[in-house]
A and B are shown apart, each in its own frame.
Chain A
Amino acid sequence: MSEPVVVVDRVTKRFAGHTAVDSLSLSVPSGTIYGLLGPNGAGKSTTIRMILNIYVPDSGTVRLFSEQGSGRDHSARIGYLPEERGLYAKMRVLDVLLFLAELKGVDRRSARTRALTWLERLGLSDWCMRKVNELSKGMQQKVQFISTILHDPDLLVMDEAFSGLDPVNSQVLKDTVLELRARGKTILFSTHIMEQAEKVCDHVCIIARGKKLVDGPLAGIKRTHGGRHLLINFDGARGNADTVFADRRLVAKADASGQFAELELAAQADAQEILRALVTSGARLSRFELAEPSLNKIFIDLVGPEAATAPARTGAEVASA
């Protein structure tokens, strides 16, 4: 695997009175969809802003594309969709896109070609000469999304990517993101909606109260933090199954009723051992499934209800950034 695109090394950001991000490290592998997950106020936006050099970390470093220079220096290779969306209300759609592309170093002529292509693709061709404030909210979101990818960035950063999108736009966004990954681009996005993250992410990092709880490939996290549940269906013969279920070296908790059983595995237990024991005991099985807990369950288990509430902070504190 090539070098990570983003390496965040022990960054800390304090606002007057509290620590928004506390010695956080993470690395985003190239060509993946990376989900930065956490409850509201966990420090996701602050982390993203530090990656983009909008905020300067109090300590720690951010390294992009394995090169020197801040997020702003690499801005031509980065597309950014902030949490709170907004465009110049009185400008024409095409002009806004040209302007934002120019800031990314694209010349106006090729920006125009690309903008028209994208507008066409997302069904906005008829609107390109209209003013932004004549568009519906959903259309404005599409325009803003186009503006983040117009310069064909290698890294796409989206803060609360799917918030406020209707299902159709949400699908469009997801398709585009998957297509970008297929072309080798890297996507980093934050969300607090686990179902979305579960569907698209390759890697995740879960943070709460500015600290990292876990990170790594989604499958691996599910394996270590989930994978402890067994779903069993008997095919008539139960054999000596209850003896196996009672073995505390293997099964921590069993919920067996008739032809069905759900087991929670003991700490060091291997599911294969249970399968062998059940077969040996004479049971016939129609289903033996290591159930992955949903990301949502892992998230709630890890974060805990108390961490889901962010400490209060005032505007003035945010201001001192």
Chain B
Amino acid sequence: MRKVLAVIRREFVERVRQRWFWVMVLLGPLFFGAVFILPTLLTGRGGVKHIVVVDGTSSTFGAELTTRLDRESLFVAVRVPAGPRTIDSLTAAVDKKEIDGFLSVSDASVDSGKVTYRASNVSSFVTIGTLDHVITEMVNATRLEREGVNPNLVAKARIQIDLDTKKISGGKATGESAAQSFSLAYFMGIILYMAILIYGINVMSSVLEEKTTKIVEVLVSSLRPFQLLLGKVIGVGAVSIFQFLIWGLSARLLMSQRRHLLGERGLGDAGAVFQIPHVTAGTAAVFAAYFLGGFLLYSSMFAAVGAMSSNEQEARQAQQPVTMLLILSFISMFAMLNDPGSTLSVTLSLIPFSSPIAMPVRWAAGSLPLSEVALSLGILFVSIVVVTWIAARIYRVGILMTGKRPNLKELVRWVRTA
């Protein structure tokens, strides 16, 4: 046991001493912040769009629409009457980036709702969404008026819906909004994915280093290969936990000082806008359990990959199947966020290779029966035992091997004979 402790100590101390660990600790939150804020920044502030409204109507509809669009902060709109060459010259203008796009309306627009929008970029949700919203509103109002409804009445009848969503957990509303649940689930999914991947690969390169420097021969003459593997996995795992602790504690500190910090900059209200999801003890426990499980499962696979490769290049290739498993679990997170209760989501949260990401995401997105979590954890635990057993055998043979990478048949033989 003392020998295992020595290995754990070495893995931990050497990693924490490295500069990149502290770079990760500092840049991690920035990176995660960017993952959250960037999408909103990018979609929200595409800049002001200069558009032209080609008015082919015989009424005032085109002019009114132009005024209405121009009032939106997103658009600068100019009305041009429809002519024989208008479309061609505007198309050229879009091409030369003089304008962002143009909208064609005619009398048919009010009758059948047909409007065309041509632009250099039609994939921005915000632009298209605003156009759609404004035009629909205008067309509906015009049609109602045409049927003799008072425009004031129309305006009066309209009301902004405020859909208040709260998650129900344990039979009562939690006061946690859908947005908060979503961002918590999303956040946990990303962190789990990144941490398992990064620290799994850490285990792999550690195995590979000992193998390529041949020091492993000295090591296995002193302790059993499994002890070495165990120490390595625990040591690297401890580094990741240490990192989470630093993040967790500094986040707590920031939160407790939040009012103070924000107030000083005259951002007293920002706290309300920037909703911070409530992390319960249960959520933290689920996160911790699945992180540990996922890390153990994947790091032993990564260790086996390191042991069967003889250089970085080979390892990069050989790690692909393992990385793919993890990436697939990560991608499936989005399906899970969409519908945490679907058959797909339930299945993924039971399969051991995807459950470390899937289950915490489901947990955060909507409440789950504990029995389901227990079942999933049970399956994960059994899988860890089986996978580690196989990986340890590959490891034991692989670390002393030289020469070409084994194929699948040889791997099976290693596992059998080791």
Residues on A lying within 8 angstroms of B by beta carbon are 49, 52-55, 71-72, 75, 78, 80, 82, 84-91, 95, 99-100, 102-105, 147-148, 314-316, 318-321
Contact = CB atoms under 8 A, between A and B. Distances in A.
Contacts of B410: 316, 319-320
A90 B414 CA distance: 31
13 contacts: A54-B400, A71-B221, A82-B217, A85-B214, A86-B213, A88-B209, A88-B210, A88-B215, A103-B222, A316-B403, A318-B402, A319-B410, A321-B397
Nearest to A84: B214
B218 A80 contact: yes
B137 interface: no
B401 A54 contact: no
Interface of B: 2-3, 6-7, 10, 13-14, 18, 209-210, 212-215, 217-224, 397-398, 400-404, 406, 410, 413-414, 417
Contact of A319 (B2, B210, B217, B406): B406
A275 to B, nearest CB: 53
B3 A102 contact: yes
A12 B2 CA distance: 33
Contacts, number: 95
Contact of B10 (A78, A99, A320): A99
A87 B403 contact: no
Contacts of A80: 217-218, 221
Contacts of A78: 221
* The 6 A-B residue pairs with the shortest CB-CB distance in the complex, in nearest-first order: A315-B403, A86-B213, A319-B401, A102-B6, A84-B214, A103-B222
Given A86-B215, A316-B410, A103 B403 contact: no
A53 B396 CA distance: 13
Contact of B401 (A71, A86, A318): A318
A89 B209 CA distance: 9
Contacts of A55: 400
Given A102-B3, A103-B223, A87 B215 contact: yes
Contacts of B222: 72, 75, 100, 103-104
A318 B398 CA distance: 10
Contact of B413 (A88, A91, A320): A320
B6, B14, B218, B414 pick with most chain A CB within 10 angstroms: B218
A72 B227 CA distance: 12
B50 to A, nearest CB: 56
Contacts of B218: 80, 82, 100, 147-148
Nearest to B398: A319
A147 B215 CA distance: 11
Contacts of B209: 88-89
B221 A54 contact: yes
Nearest to A81: B218
Contacts of A49: 217
Contact of B221 (A53, A90, A318): A53
Contact of A315 (B7, B18, B404): B404
B35 to A, nearest CB: 30
A152 to B, nearest CB: 15
A29 to B, nearest CB: 22
Given A82-B218, A315-B401, A320 B223 contact: no
B3 A103 contact: yes
